[in-house]
Amino acid sequence: MTRIDDTFARLKAEGKKAFVTYVMAGDPDEARALEIVKGLPAAGVDVIELGLPFTDPMADGETIQLAGQRALAAGMTLEKFLQFVRDFRAEDNTTPIVMMGYYNPIYSRGVDKFLAEAKEAGIDGMIIVDLPPEEDDELCIPAQAAGLNFIRLATPTTDAKRLPKVLQNTSGFVYYVSITGITGAAEASAADVAPEVARIKESTDLPVIVGFGVKTPETAEAVAGVADGTVVGSAIVSKIANGESTADVLAFVKSLADGAHRA
């Protein structure tokens, strides 16, 4: 059982939906990012997705691409990312952290070395968006053997033939991408999401969390109402990009969390 498994078991027992946030590690700089991330649990965040900046972020829209560029310009590296997690864990040993990123930095470091370091630092799971199920031997299966959840994305184009392959080695939760496109694009629609979530849940006992296109407390509530929870990323990253204070960013996060938790 990982912190992710424990958190979803607790939420289920409490009859609550999960609220998940995405923040880019090192954006706009290491100290500010850590201050924000440390404040997320008190703002109502159940699971933290922490982005590892990468030079070719093909699944991300402009908002998160620019966040990655700011983080890289400020000196964020995989080594510093791991230390960032350790610094968070020094004060919080409960809130799950999911690393979200791309395979190249992990491959360059060496899979076995990275997994040992990730586990030691306090990472609980990974979403690696450019590794399809056909490449599970590369990272997914070794990660699960190391005690880390490997979370897979399902999308509106994941049909009945493809879905079993996507779910085969997935653990922790399933991340349902509510729109066809990149992060930060169109607004998610609970009416569109509901039948897709139901379809996925027919094939898995894992929680289904919906992200992409959730930007307001109202949408967070509506989307969480038809799933096991929701993810907000670009809307929060935009606040950071605009130079809003940590207190204002966290107040916005709390409004989103309150929305999701009302569902």
Active site residues: 49, 60
CB 148 within 8 A of CB 121: no
Alpha-helical (H) ranges within 135-177 are 140-145, 163-167
Whose CA is closest to 227, among 180, 185, 191?
191
Instruction: Give, rounded to a whole angstrom, the gap between the first and last alpha carbons of the chain.
Output: 26
Alpha-helical (H) ranges within the chain are 3-14, 30-39, 62-73, 78-89, 103-109, 111-121, 140-145, 163-167, 190-201, 217-225, 234-241, 246-262
- Those residues with Cβ within 8 angstroms of residue 226's Cβ, 6 or more apart along the chain or in another chain: 190, 193, 194, 197, 210
Structure tokens at 227: 């799933």
**Whole-number Å distance between alpha carbons of 54 and 68:** 6
What are the Cα distances from residue 45, in Å, to 118, 152, 166, 198, 251? 21, 20, 26, 24, 12
Whose CA is closest to 260, among 211, 221, 228?
221
